[in-house]
């Protein structure tokens, strides 16, 4: 089975621009979560989607948004980029069926650099 | 608040030796799951081992095992017969079934020396 894929892998943007990152979960997984990883703050939860519905959202400003499509693929968008948004953005998918242990499987990440 | 504390920012071990990474967590929930993830340098995050909080038996996956002390909210990872490929950042994390988000510790950088 193919793992979680994320595109693009690397991205360089300028302050004020917006960016869209994409994530394709493991086949059959219906839950997709997004995390931001930085050296200073570590791994922080952005949001989680299941069957096209956002079920939880972390403490990030409204510039960070996401969505999930009917095929479980997900995108996240960051508008009006700031230097502090430079980070590794990780997507994770989970099976999320009754009795499952909620483990999440991560993609390789998108490295976003804001200049 | 739900938190995870990894008190060892860095550790090193000689190849073939055993090492234990510490983790404590805090939650008021009863239904949760604990994980150790491994992130090798510039590589993908990999799930190492998981433990359901309702299970008393400690989880084991080949050379990796955990010591789960629920009352103490402690969840340490033991790596036996350390290999060079075990060099990585190790993250302790847990998820509460009702909120679907993983809460991570800051990580322990483990270096296995030849």
pLDDT of chain B, 114 residues: tens digit per residue: 889 999 999 999 999 999 999 999 999 988 899 999 999 988 899 999 999 999 989 999 999 999 999 999 999 999 999 999 999 999 999 998 777 899 999 999 999 999
Predicted confidence (pLDDT) per residue in A1-45, tens digit: 789 999 999 999 999 999 999 999 999 999 999 999 999 999 999
Q: Which residues does chain B have within 8 Å of residue A101's beta carbon, measured at their own beta carbons?
A: 33, 50, 52
Q: Is the CB of residue B4 less than 8 Å from the CB of residue B105?
A: yes
Would you call B50 and A106 a contact, using CB atoms and an 8 Å cutoff? no
A-B CB pairs within 8 A amount to 52
The whole-angstrom separation of Cα B47 and Cα B88 is 12
The whole-angstrom separation of Cα B15 and Cα B86 is 9
The whole-angstrom separation of Cα B35 and Cα B28 is 18
Comparing CA positions, the residue from A64, A75, A99, A79 lying closest to residue A5 is A75
The whole-angstrom separation of Cα B99 and Cα B95 is 8
Q: How far is CA A52 from CA A48, B68, B102, in A?
A: 10, 35, 19
Q: Is the CB of residue B47 less than 8 Å from the CB of residue B35?
A: yes
Would you call B101 and A109 a contact, using CB atoms and an 8 Å cutoff? no
- Which of A3, A43, A102 is closest, CB to CB, to B104? A43
- Which of B33, B45, B91 is closest, CB to CB, to A102? B33
Looking at the complex, report in whole angstroms how far the Cα of residue B36 sits from the nearest Cα belonging to chain A.
10
């Amino acid at each position: 089975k193919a793992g979680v894929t994320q595109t693009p892998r690397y991205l360089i943007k300028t302050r004020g621009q917006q960016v869209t990152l994409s994530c394709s979960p493991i086949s059959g997984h219906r839950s997709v979560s997004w995390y931001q990883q930085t050296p200073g703050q570590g791994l922080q939860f952005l949001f989680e989607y299941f069957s096209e519905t956002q079920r939880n959202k972390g403490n990030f400003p409204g510039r960070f948004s996401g969505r999930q499509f009917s095929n479980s693929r997900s995108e996240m968008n960051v508008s009006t980029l700031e230097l502090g948004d430079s980070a590794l953005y990780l997507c994770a998918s989970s099976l999320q069926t009754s009795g499952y242990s909620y483990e999440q499987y991560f993609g390789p990440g998108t490295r976003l650099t804001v200049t | 608040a739900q938190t995870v504390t990894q008190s060892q920012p860095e550790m090193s071990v000689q190849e073939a030796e055993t090492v234990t990474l510490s983790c404590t967590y805090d939650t008021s929930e009863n239904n949760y799951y604990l994980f150790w993830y491994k992130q090798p340098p510039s590589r993908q995050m990999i799930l190492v081992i998981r433990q359901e909080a309702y299970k008393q038996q400690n989880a084991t996956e080949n050379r990796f095992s955990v010591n789960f002390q629920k009352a103490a909210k402690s969840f340490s990872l033991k790596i036996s017969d350390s290999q060079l490929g075990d060099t990585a950042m190790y993250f302790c994390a847990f998820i509460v079934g009702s909120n679907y988000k993983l809460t991570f510790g800051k990580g322990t950088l483990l270096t296995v020396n030849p």
